[in-house]
Amino acid sequence: MNKSIRIYLLIIICFSSCTTKVEQPNIIFIMSDDHAFQAVSAYGHNLNNTPNIDRIAKEGAIFNKGFVTNSICAPSRAVMLTGKHSFINGKVDNIQPYNWNQPNFAKSLQKGGYETALVGKIHLRGEPQGFDFWSVLPGQGHYYNPVFIENGDTIQIEGHVTPITTEKSLDWLKNKRDQNKPFLLLYHQKAPHRNWMTEEKYLTLFDDKTFDPPSNFFDNYEGRGRAAKEQEMKIDGHGYWGHDFKFLSDPFTGENTNFDRQLSRLTEEQRTKWLDAYTPKNNLFRSMNLEGKELAVWKFNRYIKDYLRTIQSIDDGVGEILDYLDSNNLSENTIVIYTSDQGFYLGEHGWYDKRFMYEESLRTPILMRYPKEIMRGTEINQLIQNLDFAPTFLDYAGIKIPKDIQGKSFRKIVNQTHSEWRDAIYYTYYEYPSVHMVKRHYGVRTDRYKLMHFYYDIDEWEMYDLEKDPSEMNNVYGDPKYDNIKEMMHRRLQEMREQYGDSDDLNEMHLERYLSKIKN
């Protein structure tokens, strides 16, 4: 071979190998708002049927120990975007501002060659940064005829927010994105957030069914501290006849509930469908003259049915997105994650809402599909947190994970090439005094135990043995049998606070900021 041919071949070999870049996967990050893992049928609770969400787990992985760091809407989203705890990213409660100027994983992916979009609910004020296209609900948004802010312009769209968010996402996938780039889509549903206003086609779903409440629905909070006793999130006690149970007038006092004000958003046709569905059910309730426990169980049923109905529309949307990937040959190279911004009480302890570090709101559903790396039917039992999404996405995209990100990539956990992982998670909650009156607290959870400290207008510790007491009915903090465990958990808590940079001084600072905001 003469010299010039050798050089020519070398150039060809170098050119082909030097330009062979690993194909970056597309990412669809689906998040809904307040979707309890108990209401994803893949988790086996038999409440409802979510075949499309389940499909993600069937063809990929289900996470049995997915948790949040702070169980409330806007702070959870800030943690998800930044990969940092609330006390580091600054968005500790729904009241404090979120600083969009700080780094987030969408900005990094955009810089790394991705086409990025955010559609639906983000619940963080200010112009989203890191997205080539964004169309978001202002604040909580509306279920019917919602307003969107789309790349700065305000538009109102007739219809129900769940299918509209799906249509907008599909429209971006089909028509708006640069087809030559890998894409990141944050497809974020408002549902099933309170007050659970169902899409018209599901207004009568579950009408023929009666749900049994959880076994601790009539919890009297004995064996727990003041925080559990003094909350204001009981379905039978704090739910409103209008806003929550959809009555135009209070069935006992006859007073106007102001629910007609909410229905006034609806078109004449939508309103007629609503009244046709609810009036006979509400009249039947009035004729039954229920009281005591029967009344409480009726309220539970009204709540859980409306809640689950809104989830049915979410599941339909997930199906449409998966179908789009299938029919465009994108399923193989697209990571699909389904999760919620936190868990929710579906009658456990008699409650709805979230906020507490108790299991139902600490946990969140996580299901993930990526056929290239994740085996069908994988189960993940490690302690994963919403803190871990940002570094995981960067890892898959081949982008360096910044050192100050506090979460960890779970890529090697989910593809099962690595098993070493954290043995405890850290939690903080700040929004008190506020609606639902869940006291300020922080805590640590290991695989088996949970230690929590409630503070501010109280100084109480609670500890649970989750193996013996998975429903957390019995605080063992003062039980001498657990003295060694207590000591170990206190040590673990202190280590985690140091590791993540949290402290009593920071709590004091957040408290002062909060109190001055709510005073104004």
DSSP 8-class letter at 410: -
**Residues 192-221 interacting with Ca ion (rule: CB under 5 A):** none
CB under 5 A: which stretch of 66-74, 225-233, 271-279, 320-328 binds Ca ion? 66-74
34 or 59, CB closer to Ca ion? Answer: 34
Q: At residue 118, what are phi and psi to the nearest 5 degrees?
A: -130, 120
Alpha-carbon dihedral angle through residues 31, 37, 41, 43, given to the nearest 10 degrees: 120
CB under 5 A: which stretch of 71-79, 227-235, 412-420, 425-433 binds Ca ion? 71-79
Cα separation of 406 and 387, whole Å?
Answer: 7
34 or 219, CB closer to Ca ion? Answer: 34
Q: How many positions of this chain bind Ca ion (CB under 5 A)?
A: 4
Phi-psi region of 368 (alpha: psi -120 to 50; beta: other; left: phi over 0): beta
CB of 10 to Ca ion, least distance (A): 58
Q: Does 74 bind Ca ion (CB under 5 A)?
A: no
Q: What is the distance of C-alpha 411 from the center of its chain?
A: 20
CB of 77 to Ca ion, least distance (A): 9
CB of 354 to Ca ion, least distance (A): 6
Structure-block tokens of residue 322: 């998966």
**Cβ contact 44:366 at 8 Å:** no
CB of 34 to Ca ion, least distance (A): 4
341 or 359, CB closer to Ca ion? Answer: 341
DSSP secondary structure string, 120-189? EE----S---S-SEEEEESTT--SBS-EEEETTEEEE-SSBHHHHHHHHHHHIIIIIS-TTS-EEEEEE-
160 or 193, CB closer to Ca ion? Answer: 193
**Cβ contact 318:60 at 8 Å:** no
**From 27, 73, 186, 321, residue interacting with Ca ion (rule: CB under 5 A):** 73
Residue with the two structure tokens 């500890």 = 463
CA-closest candidate to residue 56, choices 314, 426, 309: 314
CB of 220 to Ca ion, least distance (A): 28
**Residues 395-424 interacting with Ca ion (rule: CB under 5 A):** none
Structure-block tokens of residue 248: 């135009």
Q: At residue 117, what are phi and psi to the nearest 5 degrees?
A: -145, 150
Structure-block tokens of residue 445: 């959870």
Which of helix, strand or coil describes residue 441? strand
CB of 141 to Ca ion, least distance (A): 12
344 or 464, CB closer to Ca ion? Answer: 344
CB of 25 to Ca ion, least distance (A): 27
73 or 186, CB closer to Ca ion? Answer: 73
Cα separation of 187 and 322, whole Å?
Answer: 12
DSSP 8-class letter at 349: G
CB under 5 A: which stretch of 65-73, 313-321, 434-442, 481-489 binds Ca ion? 65-73
Residue 337, beta-bridge partner list: 29, 368
**Residues 120-159 interacting with Ca ion (rule: CB under 5 A):** none
Q: At residue 213, what are phi and psi to the nearest 5 degrees?
A: -70, 160
200 or 353, CB closer to Ca ion? Answer: 353
CA distances in angstroms from 201 to 53, 109, 162, 379, 479, listed in the order given: 19, 38, 12, 34, 52
352 or 454, CB closer to Ca ion? Answer: 352
CB of 437 to Ca ion, least distance (A): 17
34 or 360, CB closer to Ca ion? Answer: 34
CB of 79 to Ca ion, least distance (A): 12
73 or 322, CB closer to Ca ion? Answer: 73
The CA radius of gyration of the chain, in Å to the nearest whole number, is 24
**Residues 6-45 interacting with Ca ion (rule: CB under 5 A):** 33-34
CB of 73 to Ca ion, least distance (A): 4
CB of 182 to Ca ion, least distance (A): 29
CA-closest candidate to residue 89, choices 366, 398, 393, 430: 430
CA distances in angstroms from 22 to 13, 108, 371, 399, listed in the order given: 17, 17, 16, 12
Residue with the two structure tokens 């739910």 = 239
Cα separation of 215 and 473, whole Å?
Answer: 11
**Residues 288-347 interacting with Ca ion (rule: CB under 5 A):** 341
CB under 5 A: which stretch of 47-55, 70-78, 220-228, 507-515 binds Ca ion? 70-78
What would the x/- binding string for Ca ion be over residues 458 to 497, using CB under 5 A? ----------------------------------------
59 or 341, CB closer to Ca ion? Answer: 341
Residue nearest to Ca ion (CB): 73
30 or 173, CB closer to Ca ion? Answer: 30
190 or 445, CB closer to Ca ion? Answer: 190
**Cβ contact 40:356 at 8 Å:** no
CB of 193 to Ca ion, least distance (A): 6
CB of 140 to Ca ion, least distance (A): 10
Which residues, 6 or more positions from 104, have their beta carbon under 8 angstroms from its beta carbon?
81, 82, 129, 130, 390
| Binding residues for Ca ion (CB under 5 A) | 33-34, 73, 341
